[in-house]
Amino acid sequence: MKFGNIFWILVMLPLLLTSQDKKTDLKIITYNVWNGYDWGKDQERREKVQNWIGAQVPDVVALQELCAYTPEKLQEDAEVWGHDYSVLLKTTGYSVGLTSKYPIEVKEKIMEGMHHGALHCKTNDIDFLVIHLHPGSISRRREEADILLGKLDAIAKSTSKYVVLGDFNAHSPFDADLYDPNGDLLNRLRKSNAGKGLDGNLVNDTFDYAVISKFLSLPLNDMVQKYSAGLAERGSFPGQVLGEVNKESSDQLVSRLERIDYIMVSPELSTKNLDAKVHNGAENWYLSDHYPVSASFDLKD
């Protein structure tokens, strides 16, 4: 054997192995795909989302607004991005789903007291709760949060590895100082929520932070918050695709960015977090009215 080959084995191979040891070994994505691609009529957008998710090489994907979906259709999506396993909550209305590289155990399909429902599954030895809270009522979201917190309390007694993710339709106290009290977003919502009280989306003319605070106090850890600053980085809604729908300019949409999509994890998983991001750049402007959120973890001891 030549000296050069021996040198490569003795010196370079350990370096490569060390590099491999440091690789991300769990990547999670959550994505609200906007009315199931127009209730199944927009195949082009569906394919673009499939391709974008596939390029991210995720291990687990949570999806919301799987309208007009069947388990077979979700499995088709899953296989495009390399997942052999998938679970759909329901085949009516606004469903949620989970896909994974690993076998999925369905723990519970949570429907009672929920507007859209929630899905509790276990995959890769981690419990996942995929949620989509009520879009138009603070009081209903608070009720749903209490139901889910009861479930999470039981989950936390059986494992230290759990994730809650999806479209919360709620605002974080971590972002409270980012919303201009006289800005486009709150002024617009004050008009549309006038007189609704807790049956609307504002309380005392501002956002309600109680729902997200309930989850944080479990405790759960907000992944995106520690890796981002400002709504330009954190904003997950509205996507630029709504410009044509609502007759709004790009600047108007940017002026009312808000964060309502989250990945929250247990304290143990939080210590293994490598990064997290809201993917609200140009590549996702026209794929959905929401932007996807991702988080990566190194699960090695």
Instruction: Give the tokens for residue 118.
Output: 């929630």
| Beta-carbon-side half-sphere exposure of residue 181 (alpha carbons within 13 Å) | 5
Q: In this structure, which topology does domain 26-297 adopt according to CATH?
A: Deoxyribonuclease I; Chain A (3.60.10)
pTM for the model:
0.91
* Residue 115 phi, psi (nearest 5): -70, -55
* Residue 185 phi, psi (nearest 5): -60, -55
What residues have CB less than 8 Å from 170, skipping those under 6 apart?
133, 141, 145, 208, 209, 211, 212, 260
Domain boundaries, the chain: 26-297
Taking residue 93's Cβ as centre, other Cβ atoms within 10 Å add up to 13
Local confidence pLDDT in tens for the 301 residues of the chain: 554 555 444 444 444 444 344 445 899 999 999 999 999 999 999 999 999 999 999 999 999 999 999 999 999 999 999 999 999 999 999 999 999 999 999 999 999 999 999 999 999 999 999 999 999 999 999 999 999 999 999 999 999 999 999 999 999 999 999 999 999 999 999 999 999 999 999 999 999 999 999 999 999 999 999 999 999 999 999 999 999 999 999 999 999 999 999 999 999 999 999 999 999 999 999 999 999 999 999 998 7
